[in-house]
């Protein structure tokens, strides 16, 4: 499957080739009912390859200077509704972004999704295009609004895996891995091109592919290289906490390191903030080890705690529990205090903030700090 954005560009390029090769009159004459012999197709293909070789010389890539990476303060911006009503493409999304800005945010990660159901079979990845989804128009609208507010924009496409997660993707053979990477690159390059066209500041090339990254680092290096040919902004990857983040080999190919940090802060039901801070110190030791090796700035591309009784035990868990805003707020305070003045830390993008402020109403035990005690904690630290 090829995205319409890429396909239309390819079709335009081929049309230009045919007009230059045949002339406008012949092209228009054969446009509706083209019929070529095998020999003609072979001759045309030779000329097509020559055309492609000359194309970069005729149209050299415009060298753009990527925006300097500031210290990021913001959220993963979640599409939680219907695109033009309360999702990315809506006025409500603009209001949500404005609230984030007023809380001190200077950045946002926007997260368009695709989905797969089989973690052991490579399949083409579809592109969001229906009116209720994170379609390109809605994504561009939200990014445009954020940019007008002076926010740094990170495009962070992700894969939803039914009954699993991206880290569960594991192909049984090298041939299937090759096919998976081919399908994935066809998907991510769509977003690289979209980010380039609309001037998005940074692109996250992948999220939490724990098996794919550790088993096949060279495939990711190649993908990063290919993506740089299309996109001139900063490129990162968002690694899962633990082995993936700590063992990835291709951090040196990226502009900054992304960490999705859901390291537990305590096993206790009611630890003190001091106890959780000591546990976070051990996490920071692991982070600094990666920083010392690769000398790349590190951004928390995700970190979050739900407003439940013990969010520090399993920060990534989604199970329903009793609402407890204070526990969430305490977890935020521990993280904010822990990352202050750390030379390796280039910012934090909390998981997450909804595309409309009324999301889930008053009885909300989800990750967002919106309209909870943690909101004031965010405002306090983001506005320092």
Cis peptide before 149 (omega within 30 of 0): no
The verdict on 253 and 354 lying in the same domain is yes
DSSP assignments along 136-204, one per residue: HHHHHHHHHHHHHTT-EEEE--EEEETTS-GGG---SSHHHHHHHHHHHHHHHHHHHHHHHHTT-SEEE
Question: Rounded distance, CA 221 to CA 252, Å?
Answer: 10
Domain span at 218? 72-382
Would you place residue 231 in the very low, low, confident or very high pLDDT band (cuts 50, 70, 90)? Answer: very high
What is the rounded average pLDDT of the residues 130-136?
90
DSSP 63-78: P-PPPP---EEEEEEE
Task: Using pLDDT thresholds of 50, 70 and 90, give the confidence band for residue 89.
Answer: very high
Q: With CA atoms as reference, report the closest residue to 45 among 10, 19, 21.
A: 21
CATH of residue 274's domain is 3.20.20.80
Residue 65 falls inside a structural domain: no
**Tally of domains within the chain:** 2
Same structural domain for residues 222 and 322? yes
Residues 123, 231, single domain; the answer is yes
Is the pLDDT assigned to residue 174 strictly greater than 80? yes
| Domain end residue (candidates: 14, 30, 58) | 58
Buried b (16+ CB within 10 A) or exposed e, 93-117: bbbbbeebbebebbbbbbbbebebe
User: Two tokens at 145?
Assistant: 């609004």
Comparing CA positions, the residue from 323, 338, 335 lying closest to residue 368 is 323
- Do 86 and 44 lie in one domain? The reply is no
For range 284-299, the mean pLDDT: 99
**Average pLDDT for residues 213-225, to the nearest whole number?**
98
- For residue 318, what pLDDT is reported? 74
Name the token pair of 18.
Answer: 């045919």
Residue 271 domain flag = yes
User: Does any domain span residue 67?
Assistant: no
Q: CA 53, 15, 139, 114 torsion: positive or negative? A: negative
Phi and psi torsions of 358, nearest 5°: -85, 5
26 and 105 part of one domain: no
DSSP state at residue 232: -
pLDDT in tens, 3-14: 999 999 999 999
Kindly state whether residues 127 and 47 are assigned to the same domain: no
> Do both 46 and 180 map to the same domain?
no
Query: pLDDT band for position 237 (50/70/90)?
Result: very high
pLDDT one-digit tens code per residue, 327-350: 999 999 999 999 999 999 999 999
Pair (117, 159) in one structural domain = yes
- 1, pLDDT greater than 80: no
Neighbours of 240 (CB within 10 A): 22
DSSP 43-54: HHHHHHHHHHHH
In this prediction, residue 249 has a pLDDT band, given cuts at 50, 70 and 90, of very high
Whether 213 shows a pLDDT value over 90: the answer reads: yes
CB count within 10 Å of CB 160 equals 12
Among 35-44, 99-108, 176-185, where is mean pLDDT lowest?
35-44
Q: In this structure, is the dihedral angle defined by the CA atoms of residues 89, 93, 98 and 103, taken in order, positive or negative?
A: negative
Q: Are 196 and 258 within one domain?
A: yes
* Bridge partners, 261 (sequence order): 303
The partner residues of 345 in beta bridges, in order of sequence, read 298
**Rounded Cα distance, 206 and 111, in Å:** 11
What is the rounded CA–CA span in Å between residue 327 and residue 52?
59
């Amino acid at each position: 499957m090829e995205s319409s954005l890429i396909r239309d560009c390819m079709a335009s390029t081929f049309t230009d080739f045919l007009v230059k090769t045949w002339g406008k009159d012949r092209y228009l004459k054969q446009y509706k009912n083209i019929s070529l012999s095998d020999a003609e197709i072979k001759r045309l293909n030779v000329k097509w390859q020559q055309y492609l070789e000359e194309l970069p010389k005729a149209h050299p890539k415009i060298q753009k200077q990527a925006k300097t990476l500031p210290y990021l303060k913001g959220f993963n911006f979640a599409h939680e509704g219907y695109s033009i009503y309360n999702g990315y493409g809506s006025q409500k999304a603009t209001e949500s972004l404005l609230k984030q800005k007023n809380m001190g945010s200077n950045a946002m990660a926007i997260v368009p999704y695709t989905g797969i159901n089989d973690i052991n079979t490579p399949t083409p990845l579809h592109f969001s295009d229906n009116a209720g989804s994170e379609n390109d128009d809605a994504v561009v609208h939200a990014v445009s609004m954020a940019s007008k507010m002076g926010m740094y924009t990170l495009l962070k496409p992700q894969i939803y895996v039914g009954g699993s997660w991206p880290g569960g993707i594991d192909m049984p053979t090298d041939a299937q891995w090759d096919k998976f990477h081919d399908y994935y690159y066809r998907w991510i390059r769509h977003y690289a091109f979209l980010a380039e066209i609309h001037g998005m500041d940074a692109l996250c090339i992948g999220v939490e592919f724990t098996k794919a990254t550790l088993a096949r680092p060279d495939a990711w290096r190649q993908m990063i290289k290919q993506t740089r040919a299309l996109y001139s902004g900063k490129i990162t990857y968002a690694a899962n906490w633990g082995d993936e983040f700590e063992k990835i080999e291709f951090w040196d190919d990226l502009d900054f390191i992304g960490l999705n940090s859901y390291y537990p802060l305590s096993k206790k039901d009611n630890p003190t903030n001091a106890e959780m801070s000591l546990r976070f110190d051990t996490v920071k030791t692991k982070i600094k080890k990666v920083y010392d090796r690769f000398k790349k700035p590190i951004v928390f591309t995700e970190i979050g705690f739900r407003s439940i009784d013990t969010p520090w035990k399993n920060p990534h868990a989604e199970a329903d529990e009793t609402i407890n805003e204070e526990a969430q707020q305490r977890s935020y305070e521990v993280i904010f205090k822990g990352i202050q003045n750390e030379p390796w830390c280039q910012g934090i993008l909390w998981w997450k903030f909804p595309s409309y402020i009324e999301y889930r109403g008053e009885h909300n035990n989800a990750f967002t700090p919106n309209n909870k005690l943690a909101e004031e904690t965010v405002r306090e630290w983001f506005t320092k």
